[in-house]
Amino acid sequence: MRNQTLPQSAEAEAARLLADDARYLWHSWSPSGTAGRGGMVVTGGRGCEVFTVDGRTWLDARAGMFNAALGYGRTDVADAMHAQAQRLATYTLTQAATVPAIELARRIAGLTGQKELSRTFFCHSGSEANETAVKVARQFHALRGDPGRRTILSLADGYHGSTLATAAMSQIPAARAGNEPLPAGFVHAPAPRCPECAARRPHRTCAVPGPEAVEQALLAAGPETVAAIVLEPVLGVAGVWPLPAGYLRRVRELCDEYGVLLVLDEVMTGIGRTGAWFGYQHHGITPDIVTLCKGLGAAYATVSSVTVRQSIYEAFSADPLMGGLRHGVTTGGHATACAGALAVLDAVEREDLVAGAARTGALLLERLAKLRDLPAVHDVRGAGLLLAVEFDTPEQAAQVDTAMNDDGVLARLQGAAVTLAPPLTLSTEQAERIADSLERAALALDARL
């Protein structure tokens, strides 16, 4: 990190902000207290770097919450949002439409690569998008005369959001503890990762549950009761676990066989993160419903989407209560947010960032793969610019994360894994710096063992 000596007035302002932070602000997914190590108050950013109130500069290898896909300081996106806000901030999409919402829905339909996957509903967050997908799936079956299909099947190590229904879709303790009773109608299958790896040796030779575990859970629940199977192409919060080759294809076959909808949660993986527009495109299948969020707004716009097959949309015309979707959020499809998302997609296409994520991600993975030979390193894995180095214990991962932090590189701790999801605009030189920092920290850890 780069430091600079602050004038006395700036030091006083920094102290005031930290005091007010400690007194007034309640942080998400964080221990109580001030913001981060020593109090990280971010005041600006440019490219892949962010600046803090104490005069430090950091290379953001986690893109905020994996969502700053274009980095910081993008005047093209800001200008598009400013122009739209001056023209029309937004208008309700209840029995009306706005130009940016129409245009963004059309663009998403084109990116799916599937003519049938073409109808989009907008909301604000990944949690809202996934909750909407659940409601759509259940209502769809009811409207088709099969109201008994209420159950949602997901992977135990998946993560789909922090609302009550999406928390019920995961067995991650941090999402569930203290929130019981959670909504009923959710069951889980074991994820394709080793359930017996406490010793961490030998690694990468473990037998992991395959798609047959999904079928077993489906049969146990009763296929006639299951509305949808919800999966992430890469299990993100669990520590960046890409689904194995053939896994999604077999789950798609199961859904077709048993009349179940396939919902793919691409909140983290969508819009180029894995080196394709959508993570499912690596697997040669098409979902029935796909959700997006982080990369869609790229941290500039608060927008998420639920895109469904046209046949699902058309089933709602039979709804005797409304003849359409009985669900909505007041500012879903916010015109200014949609204008920002359109500018994001323009930039991703213009700068060829999807292919860039594949290239730069491959470079990072090649560099980091060499760490597998270290005794403390359990695994190195990733897809595009979504990667993880897993250590034998969470304590070891925390030591590496701290060392990287001291080096001016911001990664993210997820259990025993140090995870990376830098902006898609990451340069080769910045990728090398991230790899150098993680390698130094891992080697230093190895020397202490």
pLDDT digits (tens, 9 = 90+) for 312-354: 999 998 888 888 999 999 999 999 999 999 999 999 999 999 9
Structural domains in the chain, CATH included, are: 8-73+352-448 (3.90.1150.10), 77-350 (3.40.640.10)
- Alpha-carbon span 58 to 348, nearest angstrom: 23
Q: For residue 380, what pLDDT is reported? A: 96
Q: Could you give the CA distance from residue 246 to residue 255 in angstroms, rounded to a whole number? A: 14
pLDDT at 22: 87
The residues pairing with 139 across neighbouring beta strands, listed in sequence order, are none
Pairing of β 57-60 and β 409-410: parallel
Task: Give φ, ψ of 200 to 5 degrees.
Answer: 65, 10
Helix 211-221 vs helix 247-258: crossing angle, to nearest 10: 20
In this prediction, residue 28 carries a pLDDT of 87
pTM of full prediction above 0.85: yes
Nearest to 133 by CA among 263, 220, 229: 263
pLDDT below 70 — which residues of the chain? 1-6, 34, 36-38, 195-205
The residue written with tokens 């907008």 in the block is 122
- pLDDT of 180 reads 87
- Give the pLDDT score at 3: 55
Residue 352 makes CB contacts below 8 A (sequence gap 6+) with: none
Read off the pLDDT of residues 243-270 as tens digits, 9 standing for 90 and up.
999 999 999 999 999 999 999 999 999 9
DSSP 30: S
Cis amide prior to 181 (ω within 30 degrees): yes
The per-residue pLDDT for 52 is 93
Residues 6 or more apart in contact with residue 362 via CB below 8 angstroms: 275
C-alpha closest to that of 332 among 4, 101, 14, 85? 101
Per-residue DSSP letters for 125-155? SHHHHHHHHHHHHHHHHHHTT-TT--EEEEE
Alpha-carbon torsion 440, 441, 446, 449, what sign? positive
| Pairing mode, strands 289-292 and 261-266 | parallel
What pLDDT sits at residue 196? 57
Q: Which pLDDT belongs to residue 65?
A: 95
What pLDDT does residue 444 have? 96
